[in-house]
Structures are given as C-alpha cells and as structure tokens.
C-alpha cells in the first residue's frame, strides 16, 4: 500500500472520504438533467460497475425535482453539481443531496457560500469546493493572464480561500478539487493545495479528452499524485460514457494496489489471423465481469476472481485457454469455443459469448 497523505475524514452519504478511507471512484451522469428515468438508469448502471459516488448536474429547478426523484432510488450517494445560482445548491441539499459541488469562481461570493454551508450543516451534507482553471475568479484569472501568478498557484489560492469561507462559517465537511485540463498543471495544483489544507482531495484532470487520450492523461496525473499519497477520491473525466470513466478509475486504483484486484481478462491484440470479433467480445466480457465483481463486493463475497481469456485464433488461443479458468477461442465462423478449467466444453456464437463466460464464472 502507498503511504497516504493524512486528511480529515468526512462522509458523502455512506461513503467515507479521506482519513485513510479507501480511495473512492466517482463519475457524472451525462443524461438530460430533468429526465428522471434516464438518470436513474445511468446511476444504477455505474453503481453496478462499482462506482462509489455519482454526480448530477443541477442547472435549474426542474433538475432539482428530478434529482430528488433519482436520489430516492439510488443505491450510491449522489452529488449535486451547481454553478451560478447558490439557491439551487440549497434546494438540492433540501432534496436529499449527499453533497453539493460549488465553484468559488461563479457561486456569487462568500455570503452565498455561507448560505450553502448552513443548509449543508443542517442536513448532514458535504460540500466540494471545486475549482476549475477555466472558471477562476476574475482577479485570479487576471493575475494568471498577466504572468503574476501561475495557473497551479491560482487554483490553489482559490480553493484555500473557498475552504476558509466555509470553515469560518463553522462548516468542515469539505472536499477540495483543483482541476486543470493540462496534466502538469493539474499535478502542480494538487501538490500545492495538499500543503495548505487537510481537506480530502477529489483528484482528476478536467476535460481530459476522448476515451484513449483522456484515459492516458488521467492515468499519468492520477498515478503520479496517488503514488505521492495525494488523493482521496477520483474521477477520470472522459468525453465518453460514465461507465468508461468508472472502469478506467477502478483499473488505475487496482494497478496501484489501492483497490483489490478485480476481473483480469487476457485478450489478444488481434491480427489478420483472428477468426472472430475479439475486440468487441473482450469489451463485452470485461463489462459483464465488472458487474459480477461489483455484486460480489456488495455481498461481501471474498476469494480469488476467476481468470478469463478471450483469444482470436488457434495460435495462442488454446494455450491461453488452458491456463485460464474460463476462456473463449475464436472459430472460423465468427463464434468461439468455450473452455473451462483447461478443457473445451462447447461453442458459442459471438452474441452470446459474454453471457456464456459469466455463466461459467459464477459457477466456479
């Protein structure tokens, strides 16, 4: 385990954050903020993958009403993301938000932040002081533009000032984020703010990009910071689905030993010999197994998770299949042979492959 920076511990709903608690994984819904059914479905989906905390945008009163409905059915804590109008933050807290994210750069000043703090304290909610380089307070943005202050310094300054307002109001259940879209700026900002507050830190690279470059940039920043003990909760912010964000975040934490090892799928890189759509099937298998893993974790089921392989042809396929607990090996008709404990037990069409793997995994 890495040596973690010492922070105060707070609670976001039933999830402890900071103070040595496991690093939690967050994402944010991308559905219409007023569509209760779509939001509830997406929250359930990411929860099923192991997401710990989910954030919803709350841009208006209709979104507050939707948030309240989604909160009633959610199995994980929900955070209301509010900009510009402090009254929406108070309304979201009254609607059951486990936390609200407010931005010092646009919430309307210290008096408004204190109003949010009073509501949060009365309702047992937490507050994230979420600073973004693209929406700094104008005096700080002007200093950065004039070269009087670096971007990381300005991010840290904004966050510390925002925390001071809440603490002076007698509120301490605070999480801090200082996000930039540049990896080096994000790393420097989090290093700086970690020296100035004991609040737990929500770490990530904002607007990191599409799935591949965004995951790579996030992995570089998060691995650097987490290896230094900085970070109590994370989001991999991608121009992709929330499910992809959760899976990327979990994998980063697993690779650092900050989460128990979950499903490991060995899959070939594919080539001209591949006799089936390995890429699609491997992705479907991984997603299905993540849900099995998350369900086991919720039920407290311990033990080694079965090793799974998805291979494209007969060159390495049978060998990897024999070394895995459950495996698929591509066949000439686009389907797969199915292997369990080193022996072939049948065949399956590609469309049923993920379900076939899950069937055998849960029986082991």
Q: Which two tokens stand for residue 6?
A: 């010492």
Helix (H), strand (E) at residue 227:
helix 211-227
| Residue 286 φ/ψ, nearest 5 degrees | -60, -45
What confidence tens digit (pLDDT) does each residue in 173-189 have?
Answer: 999 999 999 999 999 99
Residue range(s) in the chain whose domain bears CATH number 3.20.20.20: 10-255
Hey, is 58 helix, strand or coil? coil
What confidence tens digit (pLDDT) does each residue in 322-350 have?
Answer: 889 999 998 877 899 999 999 999 999 99
Q: Which CATH number is 265-363's, of 3.40.50.970, 3.40.50.300, 3.10.20.30, 3.30.413.10?
A: 3.30.413.10
129 forms bridges with which residues in the sheet? 102, 176
Cα(259)–Cα(262) distance, integer angstroms: 8
**pLDDT score for 105:** 84
What confidence tens digit (pLDDT) does each residue in 157-176 have?
Answer: 999 999 999 999 999 999 99
What is the pTM (predicted TM-score) of this model? 0.91
Q: What is the mean pLDDT of the chain?
A: 94
**pLDDT score for 1:** 53
Cα(179)–Cα(193) distance, integer angstroms: 11
**pLDDT score for 333:** 79
Is pLDDT above 80 for 292?
Answer: yes
| Closest residue by Cα to residue 100 from 127, 120, 121, 134 | 127
Q: Give the pLDDT band (50/70/90) at residue 319.
A: confident
Domain 10-255 matching CATH 3.20.20.20: the answer reads yes
**pLDDT score for 273:** 76
What confidence tens digit (pLDDT) does each residue in 28-78 have?
Answer: 999 999 999 999 999 999 999 999 999 999 999 999 999 999 999 999 999
Residue range(s) in the chain whose domain bears CATH number 3.30.413.10: 265-363
């Amino acid at each position: 385990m890495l040596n973690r920076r010492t922070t105060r511990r707070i609670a976001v709903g039933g999830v402890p954050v900071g103070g040595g608690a496991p690093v939690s994984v967050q994402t944010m819904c991308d559905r219409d903020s007023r569509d209760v059914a779509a939001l509830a479905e997406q929250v359930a989906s990411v929860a099923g993958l192991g997401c710990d905390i989910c954030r919803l945008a709350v841009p208006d009163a209709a979104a507050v009403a939707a948030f309240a409905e989604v909160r009633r059915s959610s199995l994980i804590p929900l955070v209301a993301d509010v900009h510009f109008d402090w009254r929406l933050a108070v309304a979201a807290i009254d609607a059951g938000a486990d936390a609200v994210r407010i931005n010092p750069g646009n919430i309307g000043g210290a008096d408004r932040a204190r109003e949010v703090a009073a509501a949060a304290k009365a309702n047992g909610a937490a507050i994230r002081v979420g600073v973004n380089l693209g929406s700094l307070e104008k005096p700080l943005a002007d200093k950065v533009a004039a070269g009087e202050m670096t971007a990381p310094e300005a991010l840290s300054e904004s966050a510390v000032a925002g925390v001071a307002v809440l603490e002076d109001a007698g509120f301490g259940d605070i999480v801090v984020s200082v996000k930039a879209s540049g990896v080096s700026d994000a790393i420097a900002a989090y290093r700086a703010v970690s020296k100035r507050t004991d609040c737990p830190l929500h770490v990530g690279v904002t607007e990191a990009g599409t799935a591949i470059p965004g995951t790579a940039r996030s992995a570089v920043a998060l691995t650097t910071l987490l290896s230094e003990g900085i970070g109590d909760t994370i989001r991999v912010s991608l121009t992709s689905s929330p499910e992809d964000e959760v899976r990327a975040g979990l994998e980063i934490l697993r690779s650092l030993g900050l989460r128990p090892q979950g499903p490991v799928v060995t899959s070939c890189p594919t080539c001209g010999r591949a006799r089936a759509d390995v890429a699609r099937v491997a992705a479907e298998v991984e997603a299905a197994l993540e849900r099995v893993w998350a369900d086991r974790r919720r039920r407290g089921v311990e033990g080694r998770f079965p090793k799974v392989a998805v291979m494209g042809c007969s060159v390495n396929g049978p060998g990897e299949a024999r070394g895995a607990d459950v495996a698929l090996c591509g066949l000439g008709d686009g389907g797969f042979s199915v292997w369990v404990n080193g022996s072939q037990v049948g065949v399956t069409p590609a469309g049923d492959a993920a379900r076939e793997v899950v069937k055998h995994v849960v029986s082991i």
